[in-house]
Structure 1
Amino acid sequence: MTTRVTPRPGLDGWAEVDPARHPFDPAVAAGVVRRLAPPPPPPAPDMPSLEPYDATAWSAYQEAGRRSVEWNMAMTDALVAHYGTWAYDWAWPPTPVWDRWTPIVTSSDETLRLVTASLVAWRRWVEETAGRLHRLLPSLRAAALIGPDDAVVAWEAAIAELLTAAVAWAEETDDWFGRGRRLLTWLLTAAGLPVEHSVTLVGRALDARFHGWVHLTAADVADVAEHLAREVIGRSAGRLAGPGECGDDWPDTWPHGWPSWRAANRPRPYS
């Protein structure tokens, strides 16, 4: 098998994954996968023990891992060529079915069955996201017609919902970050913002605050939603009311060592 490194699509624009633009029939997915798939490599041997160290056994195991990665790349190439770029992340549904980076340890038939299950699970998650966006977007458009204050409130609610969904979908409590980033970028691009600008806004809202994948609190969700909503509408976060103003008496700090940017005794990173 010839190794081919597939450039990873950004998948930042909602148009790249929107199910309405990319047909998919789960009923025939197994046949498509079987037709497109290169011959799976033989199952890898069990991982050798470290003590006593067996160089020959470890070399065989590492070679099996290399063949598995090559096969996964070829499988991805085939799925993307057939279905479109949305299929690139077929191995990353919210509930993992397949790990493209570990040696294949199943039979050929079982391997293709698991690939199909993972692809269908990924598509199901994309379709669930489409349902959320189709429900949220009309309220954003309607609020924009009323005025900027209403638009900020509507965007806050939409952003908070998607971040909460990212946490709910995560297998681990700190595994929400990548999925949350993607959901927010899809929301912005689905609403008509340019992809590059959307990536920048979401990056500023998340990267400046979360250095690594950490537990996301309800207070974090509120802060990110408010900041990003104001960025989208064009209102500076630094103009928000301080503690005790407008009946909004926020505590100075939040759990897990993350200070609220609205705190009176902390510098505001977004001001």
Structure 2
Amino acid sequence: MTWADMDPATHPFDPGQALAVVREVVSSSDPAAGGPRGLVSSHSVASGLAERYGSWAFGWYGNVDQNPDSGALVRKPLGGTAGDLDAQARRYTAVLLEWRSWLEELAALFAESAPDGDADAGEEERRRSRERGH
């Protein structure tokens, strides 16, 4: 994915509606089984959220781990009990909200380190901008 896929400025999101959306994704039918899901896989939730919100909402998948030495960006447990769809929805919502918060912090850092808007910025200004992390 590129930053354009992840940039919060171009992907509206209402955190107040997140739990309802995640509940819908978690409780939706599994087409392969023809019935409600029992223990929902992280991949299927990430895919469902990406369908709803855009590819940024898939980005947390692979970036979640409780282990502090894992290097993951989101430190939340995802394990659950089959049949407890509401508890699973709350856990996935917490992960989605933390991921979105991280993206918004990253966007703020990019904005803070961006050049001053001078369209005629020379190579030296572009180099300094890259060094600042833009």
TM-score (norm 2): 0.71
More relative contact order in 1 or in 2 (CA 8 Å, sep 6+)? 2
The structural deviation recorded for 1:78 is 1.2
2:53 to 70, 83, 96: 83
Answering whether residue 111 of structure 2 is matched by residue 134 of structure 1, we say: yes
Consecutive unaligned residues in structure 1, runs of 5 or more:
1-10, 43-67, 160-186, 188-271
Q: Tell me, what secondary structure is at the counterpart of 1:138?
A: coil
| Secondary structure of residue in 2 paired with 1:97 | coil
Pick one of 86, 92, 109 that aligns with 1:109: 86
Q: Higher helix fraction: Structure 1 or Structure 2? A: 1
Which residues in structure 2 correspond to 1:1-271 (within 5 Å)? 11=1, 13-38=2-27, 39-42=36-39, 71-91=41-61, 92=63, 94-99=73-78, 104-105=80-81, 107-139=84-116, 141-142=117-118, 145-156=120-131, 158-159=132-133, 187=134
Shift of 1:40: 4.5
The Cα offsets for residues 21-70 of structure 1, whole Å up to 9 and x where unpaired, read as 1111111100111122244425xxxxxxxxxxxxxxxxxxxxxxxxx5xx
Provide structure 2 residue ranges, at least 5 long, that are not aligned to the other structure: 28-35, 65-72
Distance 1:124 1:134 in 2: 15
* Matches of 1:78 and 1:151, distance apart in 2: 39
8 Å Cα contact 1:37/1:75 also seen in 2: yes
How big is the shift at 1:75?
1.5
Judge conservation of contact 1:18–1:126 (CA < 8 Å) in 2.
Answer: yes
User: What is the identity percentage for the equivalent residue pairs of Structure 1 and Structure 2?
Assistant: 31
Contact residue 17 and residue 126 of structure 1 kept, 8 A = yes
User: What is the alpha-carbon distance in structure 1 between the residues aligned to residue 121 and residue 59 of structure 2?
Assistant: 38
